[in-house]
Structure 1
Amino acid sequence: MDTFVTFTILGLVLGSVYAIAASGLVLTYNTSGIFNFAHGAQAMLGAFLYWQLRVGWNLPTPLALLIVLGVFGPLMGLALYFLIMRGLRDTAEVTKIVVTVSIMLGMLFLSQWFWHPEEPRTLTMFFGDNSKVSFFGATVRYHEILCLVAAVAIAVGLRLLFTRTRMGATMRGVVDDPDLLRLSGHNPERIAGFSWALSSMLAVLAGILVTPISGGTLEANLLTLLVIDAFAAAMFGRLRSIPRTFVGAVVLGLAGTYLLGYAPTTWTWTSNLRVSLPMIALFVVLIVLPQDRLRGAAVRTRERYHVPSVRKAVAWGAALIVIVYLIRLLMVESAISTLTIGITFAIVALSLTVLTGYAGEMNLAPLSFGAVATIVVYHFGISGSGLAQRLTVLGVVLGVLVAALVGGLVALPALRLRGLYLALATMAFGVFLSNMVLRDTTEHELFGVKFSIFTGGSLVIPPLKVGPLDLDNETTFLMTATVLFAVLGVAVVALRNSGYGRRLAAMKDSPAASAMLGQNLVKLKLSVFMISAAIAGLGGILMSSAMGAVSGDSFTIIISLSLLMLTVVAGIGYVSGAFFGGVMAGVGFAIIMVSFNNLAKAQPELEGLYLLLGNIAAVSPALIGIGVGHNPSGSVHQVVEGYRTLRNAKPVLFGGAAFVAVLYVLALTGMLDNWWFASLTIATVFLLPVIGQMVMPAAVLGEEELARRRTTPPELVGIDEPYTEEGRIRLDNELGLPAVTVPPVRALPAASPVVQPAVNVTETVKELTVNGVS
């Protein structure tokens, strides 16, 4: 009985913290229509700040709580909404997800910047660990009682706020019809900002309360993922109902503690299952809950992608192979494998182009399918022993097929899901795989055969050998990965230009219209999921082989989210976007950070500056991701559109190419450092359209566009230029008013002054009265 009561109380306490965190998610979704993936990171950042105030600077507990909950939490929520979230209107669901994911990653990097992860930090319970009471033989601490009371009070308060107050009604109306709410005299922006401030405060409170319960150790990634477990509770209430959210959180908390307390001792995987339980519940809840009906019309968003022809794709693929080979000639041996890892990441990112860029389906865990394929080839695709071990072609094919099959199995129950629900389902799968499978290092026995899934916590994956082609050579591996990416890229473009690709695009624009035209949406979704999973599986195998050895940390959900974010930033609808996003996610920013750290060691007098620049480089991917709301089509789209204007400015194009060629020759001969070559080349690529507009404006912009830009906009006539007769005529033309000719006013002779006649007011009034004018 004592054990039951103890685990029940512990489950209720944990569930109450889940409820507090999930209530904040429900609050923001109801008022902005945005699911905040950064909710856990907000909780983490608030907990770290509370530790700094309470432990680091020895402030009293009430004062520290007042600063964190009363000032920092609300200000963080207000800043997020007014600076970022309100600019996400008319963007696709993937853009909204990526922006909040970017905020989450930025907060993680920011916490590691200010609080070094290698320094231990702990939070103790309120009132002390020894402040406790006995309840039916079980020990209950005051901190745990506070969690229960706070959760109940917040649930009741939010329920009353939404149902009994005018503010609650207006908060619900913000996402339903902000224009109508504005016409009724309310300010939707102010109401939504208030909800984000309140939600942020709840997230910070959850982070402060849950840390002592979960062991007291402050670790950024673990705390962020711990609060992410509240996603299941929020979905239990379908992001609408606070009472159902509270019930779902309590059920999650009780299920986890009961599993830990009553699972058979022979279950060696009980701890992993306990950690994975919220994600299992999230996946089940998403499948069981009723879904919204198919939308009947296409939703016009601000994303625009141009699909190239297959001929152009082949040309660009060949150009990529040549460029990578030329870059390889500049690289030292140690850097070749680093670039190879980046290109394998690009292959994984290519799976997102097919699934999300073309079909509009979501997958937040692409590296999880790479992990599945890696496990398969480790167990069934290696021949030889010792240093002579090699991957076999059959093993790679088997791994890719198993990854595709797993992709189909994951997609099969999730076929009825769309948008956010599908994204959460794939995220649940990714976190479950990381917690349940990639942590499984124990030995199992099945039908007399002993095995372990993730042997020893790491898997050693040798290079592939196909006849005379041996990827043990670093240059051979690099060029093979590049050729594979180019071939897959051309195949992806060919798929998009085929009838199948047009059906995918139709399903993305309007599922209802696509179904009415006779398309089988189930087959389309299932097939594109399997294709995407197969590409991710191949990329994962090559990535693991390029690294040599991988652990469970190589496939975490954080890395998958970073890959998705940078692919969207580059342009998820482009093969080139997958290339740049994958390379930057795999090695790009890591190389920049290592470079600054090496500079700091080489020049101690400038160590502070270089370390600052290194930390900025670590946070910069998240900052770039946050800005994707202003350019949802991606940076590749922006560059492509810029170069489209240079087609008539051949001297600028040839001049830029010649400049890069000169830089390459200087770098090849050792006269220019590789760092400067890369920096100047990147700057030239991005600045060339701007230079073209400055040097040859007529050829780049065209005469009509140039004249339009030189002309003052109509709304600035009389402000930026004097108000003249020509300006009045322009305004009449812009407004569609009929032309009116105003006769010139003749000036009176200066020598004959005008004498105004005297006006008899009395006679004028009498005349107006007689004429019937009162």
Structure 2
Amino acid sequence: MTTFLTFTILGLVLGAVYAIAASGLVLTYTTSGIFNFAHGAQAMLGTFLYWQFTYGWGWPAWLSLIVVVGVAGPAMGALLHTLIMKGLRETADVTKIVVTVAILLGMVYLSQWIWHPEDARIMEMFFGAGAKIEFGGVVVRVHELICLVVAVAVAIGLRLLFTRTRVGVVMRGAVDDPDLLRLGGHDPDRIAMLSWAMGSTLAVLAGILVTPIGGGALEANQLTLLVIDAFAAAMFGRLRSIPRTFAGAMVLGMAATYVMAFFPTEWTWTGNLRVSLPMIILFVVLIVLPQDRLRVAAVRTRERYRPPTPRSAAVWGVALVAAVFLLALLMDDGSITTFALGMTFAIIALSLTLLTGYAGEINLAPLSFGAVGTIIAFHFGVTGSGLASRLTLWGVLLAVLVTAVVGGLVALPALRLRGLYLALATMAFGVFLSNMVLRDTVEHTVFGVTFSIFPNGTLIVPPLRVGPLDLRDPRTFLMTATVLFALIAVGLAALRAGGYGRRLAAMKDSPAATAMLGQNLVKLKFGVFMLSAAIAGLGGVLMASAGGSVAGDNFSIMASLALVMLTVVGGIGYISGALFGGLMAGVGFTIMVATFNDLAVVHPSMETIYKTIGQLLVVATALIGMGVGENPSGNVHKIVEGYRTLRGAKGLLAGAAAVEAVLYVLALTGVVGNWWFAILTVCLAMALPVAGRMRAEAPVRATPLELAGLDEPYTDELRERLDRELGLPVRERTAGKEASVHAAA
């Protein structure tokens, strides 16, 4: 009985912290309509600030609490709303999600830069671990009591705020009908900013309270994911009800501690299950609870995508293969391997173009499906041993097939979900796979067969060999990955242009109208999920093969979120957006950091400056994602629009091509280095749209009067100009307009 009471109290304490964090989520969503995926990162950043003030600089704990919870937390939330969130009106769900994901990643990168992950940082409980109170033989720490009291106070306070105060009613109206709220003399933006400040404060408070309970050293990713577990509690209340959110948090906390207390110790997967339990509950809650009705009409957003025709996609695919071939001639084997890794990420990103860009279904865990394909290929697709081992074609095909089936199994219970709920369901699947499957390194015996899903935490995946095609050569691997990307891209373009693609586009625009016209939404969603998962599975196998080995961290939810964010930044509805997102997620961070680290080694006197620039670039990548709200169609759309000014400028394009050819020859012969070639190429690409705009805006010389009607056709403007030049009276058309204007006046 004592054990039961002890773990019940521990569960209530953990649930109390979940309740505080989830209440902040409910608060911000209720008043702004935006689900804050960065909630855990805000808690993490506030906790690191508290550690810095208290343990790094020796401030009193009470003063650190006042500064962090009372000042830094509210300021963080208010700034986020003012600078970013209020600009997300009339954007699609995926844009709102990706902006908060970008904030999450930016905060994680910032914290890892300021507080290096290799340095251990420990936080103690309030009043110390020795401050205890005994109730009926059960020992409770003072810190744990504080968590319970604070959670109850937050729940009661928010309940009273929303039901008994004018401010709470106004907060709910800020998202329900902001225009009506303005007519009542209130400012919706100011109300939303207040709610974001309060939500951020609760997140920071939850992070400070939960860290000493969990024990261990402060780590950015773990603390962020720990608070993300509160998402399940928030969904208990359907992001509306504080009491149901509080009850769900308590169930969540006690379930986690009961698993740890009462599951048999010989079950090797008990620890993984306890960590995965919040995401399992989140997935179940999303499936069981009633969903919103289908949208009756399309919601017009600011995203505008122009999918390419199959012909143009084929042309650009050939151009991509040729460009990669020429670039490979300039690279050494190490750079080629890195480039090939980026191309495999781009293939995974193509699954997002199909699923999200074309069909409007959101998947926040594409690398998790890549992990499924990799596990199948490792166990069933490798032949030989040692250096003679090879990945077989049948193993790759089996991996793709099994991943498609897993995608269908994940989609099957989630067929009723859309938008935010679907995003949360796929995120729950990704975190569950990382915690439950990719951490399973022990041996199991089933029907006399002994196996390990992820032996030693690393999977060795050798290159593919099919007849004369051997991908052990880095250049061959790179070109094969590029050709596969181009072929899949052309296939997606053909699919989008066909009847199936038009049905997907209709489902994205208005599911209700699509269903009313006789389309089977279940079949559409099920099919597109399976096809998308198959593409991600193929990319995952190639990614593992490109590096030779992969660990569970290569498929983490953070890596998936980065890939999704960068693909949306490039343009989720464009194939080229997948190329941008894949290359940036796969090799962009690595190249940026490695380059400036190398410069720091070569120039020791400027080591600090070079390393700082490298870290700033990584954080700046996340900042780009925060700006998606201003350019929701993606950077590719913006770049393409800039190049449209070059239509008809054959001389300018020919000159640019000649300059680029000269630069390439100079780089190939070693006259200029590869970095100078890359820098000058980027400068040339950026200068072309500017030159095109200058050309378009240049004043056009007026046609001589004696050539009027010869060099340009007669128009009303030309006739009026002739009248003015010849001193003739205004023609009747113009006079009639002026008379009507005077009459109206």
**CA offset at residue 682 of structure 1?**
2.0
CA distance in 1, matches of 2:684, 2:247: 57
For the residues of structure 1 that align with 2:113 and 2:667, how far apart are their CA atoms?
Answer: 34
Is 1:643 aligned to residue 638 of structure 2? no
After superposition, the C-alpha distances for 1:649-675 in whole angstroms (9 at most, x for unaligned) are 222222222222221111111111111
**Contact 1:42/1:203, CA 8 A, preserved across alignment:** yes
Structure 2 Cα separation of the partners of residues 737 and 233 of structure 1: 70
Partner residue, 2:741:
739
Counterpart of 2:449 in structure 1 is 449
Instruction: Name the CA distance, whole Å, in 2 between partners of 1:369 and 1:216.
Output: 31
Determine the structure 2 residue equivalent to 1:317. Answer: 317
Aligned partner of 1:604 in structure 2 is 604
Partner in structure 2 of residue 497 of structure 1: 497
Q: 1:18 Cα deviation (Å)?
A: 0.2
Deviations 1:209-268 (A, max 9, x none): 000000042100000000000000000100000000000000000000001000012211
1:161 maps to: 161
| Corresponding residue for residue 386 of structure 2 | 386
Kept in 1: contact 2:76–2:197 (CA 8 A): yes
Counterpart check, 1:263 vs 2:263? yes
SS in 2 for 1:459: strand
Question: How far apart in 2 are the matches of 1:243 and 1:386?
Answer: 59
- State the alpha-carbon separation in 2 of the partners of residues 604 and 170 from structure 1: 58
Could you report, residue by residue, the CA deviation over 1:667-703 in whole angstroms, capped at 9, with x for unpaired residues? 1111111112112212322331112222453599x99
Contact 1:639–1:686 under 8 Å retained in 2: no
Alignment of 1:683-698 (within 5 A): 683-698=683-698
Alignment of 1:142-181 (within 5 A): 142-181=142-181
Q: Deviations over 1:368-421 (max 9, x none)?
A: 011001000111001111111001111100000000000000000000000000
Q: Deviations over 1:7-50 (max 9, x none)?
A: 00100000000000000000000000000000000000000000
Which AA in structure 2 matches 1:471? L
Indicate the larger mover: 663-672 or 456-465: 663-672
* Residues 1:582 and 2:582 aligned together: yes
SS of the aligned residue for 1:105 comes to helix
CA distance in 2, matches of 1:657, 1:627: 32
Specify the alignment match of 2:630 in structure 1: 630
Matching of residue 191 in structure 1 with residue 191 in structure 2: yes
Instruction: Name the structure 2 match of 1:483.
Output: 483
1: CA distance between counterparts of 2:598 and 2:695?
A: 39
Secondary structure at the aligned position of 2:140 is classed as: strand
**Residue matched to 1:665:** 665
Q: Matched residues in 2 for 1:540 and 1:693: separation?
A: 42
The amino acid across from 1:448 in the alignment is G
Q: 378-387 or 605-614: which moved more? A: 605-614
Change (3 A) 1:696 1:192: closer
Report if the CA contact (8 A) 2:643-2:692 is conserved.
Answer: no
Amino acid at match of 2:647: R
SS of the aligned residue for 1:301 comes to coil
Residue 611 of structure 1 deviates from its aligned partner by 1.5
- CA offset at residue 740 of structure 1? 3.9
Q: Separation in 2 of the partners of 1:5 and 1:738? A: 88
Structure 2 Cα separation of the partners of residues 175 and 496 of structure 1: 35
Distance 1:737 1:208, change over 3 A: farther
In 1, Cα distance between equivalents of 2:216 and 2:380: 42
Are 2:223 and 1:223 equivalent residues in the alignment?
Answer: yes
Local SS of the residue matching 1:330 = coil
- Alignment match, 2:239: 239
Contact 1:649–1:699 (CA under 8 A) maintained in structure 2: no
Secondary structure of the 1:594 match is helix
Question: What is the rounded CA distance, in whole Å, between the counterparts of 2:357 and 2:38 in structure 1?
Answer: 23
1:43-54 to structure 2, matched below 5 A, reads 43-54=43-54
- Alpha-carbon contact 1:92-1:303 (below 8 Å) kept: yes
Q: Which residue of 2 aligns with 1:106?
A: 106
Give the letter for the 1:182 counterpart. R
Matched, 1:550 2:539: no
Structure 2 gaps, min length 5: 704-733
Change in 2 beyond 3 A, CA 1:155/1:374: same
Which residue is 1:763 aligned to?
none
CA contact (8 A) 1:5 1:136 kept: no
3-state DSSP class of the match of 1:550? strand
Distance 1:736 1:353, change over 3 A: farther
- Which position in structure 2 is the counterpart of 1:764? none
Distance 1:568-1:370 versus aligned 2 partners, 3 A rule: same
Provide the rounded CA distance (Å) in 2 between the counterparts of 1:531 and 1:115: 41
| One-letter amino acid of the structure 2 residue matched with residue 244 of structure 1 | R
* Contact residue 233 and residue 249 of structure 1 kept, 8 A: yes
Question: Any residues of structure 2 matched to 1:366-445 within 5 Å, and which?
Answer: 366-445=366-445
Counterpart-to-counterpart distance in 1, 2:684 and 2:634: 19
CA change 1:271–1:697 in 2 (3 A) is same
Matched position secondary structure for 2:440: coil
SS of match in other structure, 1:739: helix
2-side partners of 1:680 and 1:497: how far apart?
A: 37
RMSD: 1.7
Return the offset for 1:739: 3.2
* Alignment partners' CA distance in 2, 1:348 and 1:456: 25
CA distance in 2, matches of 1:519, 1:687: 47
Bigger mean CA deviation after superposition, 327-336 or 657-666: 657-666
How many Å apart are 1:326 and its aligned residue?
0.4
**Based on CA coordinates, which of the two structures has the bigger radius of gyration?**
1
| 2: CA distance, partners of 1:19 / 1:736 | 69
| CA 1:127–1:667: 2 relative to 1, 3 Å | same
> Over residues 38-67 of structure 1, what are the superposed CA-to-partner deviations in whole Å (9 max), with x where a residue is unaligned?
000000000000000000111111111010
* 158-167 or 658-667, which deviates more: 658-667
CA distance in 2, matches of 1:683, 1:488: 30
Number of aligned positions between the proteins = 712
Q: How does 1:721-732 map to 2 (within 5 A)?
A: none
Retained in 2: the 8 A contact 1:649–1:696?
no
How far residue 737 of structure 1 moved from its aligned partner, in angstroms, is 11
Q: Conserved in 1, the CA contact under 8 Å of 2:26 and 2:239?
A: yes
Tell whether 2:39 aligns with 1:39.
yes
Correspondence for 1:133? 133
Percent of counterpart pairs with the same letter? 69
Deviations 1:723-768 (A, max 9, x none): xxxxxxxxx99x9995349xxxxxxxxxxxxxxxxxxxxxxxxxxx
Letter in 2 for 1:509: D
Match of 2:5, as an amino acid?
A: V
Is the Cα–Cα contact under 8 Å of residues 17 and 209 in structure 1 kept in the other structure? yes
Match of 2:719 in 1: none
2:134, 2:543 → 1: CA distance? 54
Q: Write the deviation string for residues 283-315 of structure 1: whole angstroms up to 9, x where unpaired.
A: 000001101111111111111111111111111
Counterpart of 2:451, as a letter, is: F
Amino acid of the structure 1 residue aligned with 2:25 = L
TM-score (normalizing by structure 2): 0.94
**Counterpart-to-counterpart distance in 2, 1:149 and 1:352:** 44
Taking the aligned partners of 1:451 and 1:115, their CA distance within structure 2 comes to 39
Q: CA deviation at 1:110?
A: 0.5
Matches of 2:114 and 2:247, distance apart in 1 = 37
| AA at the equivalent of 1:279 | M
Deviates more, 1:350-359 or 1:603-612: 603-612
What is the rounded CA distance, in whole Å, between the counterparts of 1:226 and 1:332 in structure 2?
A: 42
CA contact (8 A) 2:344 2:539 kept: yes
Q: Residue 668 and residue 737 in structure 1: after superposition, are their counterparts in 2 closer, same or farther (change >3 A)?
A: farther
- 2:206 partner amino acid: A
Q: C-alpha deviations, 1:573-611, integer Å up to 9, x for none?
A: 011110111001100122011101111111112222211
Residue 646 of structure 2 aligns to a residue whose secondary structure is coil
Counterparts in 2 of 1:247 and 1:329: CA distance versus 1, 3 Å = same
Q: Which amino acid aligns with 2:373?
A: A
Q: So what's the TM-score if we normalise by structure 1? A: 0.90
CA distance in 1, matches of 2:522, 2:738: 51
How far, CA to CA, are the matches of 1:657 and 1:279 in structure 2?
A: 52
AA of the residue aligned to 2:95? T
Corresponding residue for residue 120 of structure 1: 120
Q: Show the 5 A alignment for 1:333-348.
A: 333-348=333-348
| Helix, strand or coil at the partner of 1:645 | helix
- The question of 1:538 aligning with 2:547 is answered no
Which amino acid is 1:357 matched to? G
> Which residue of 1 is the match for residue 725 of structure 2?
none
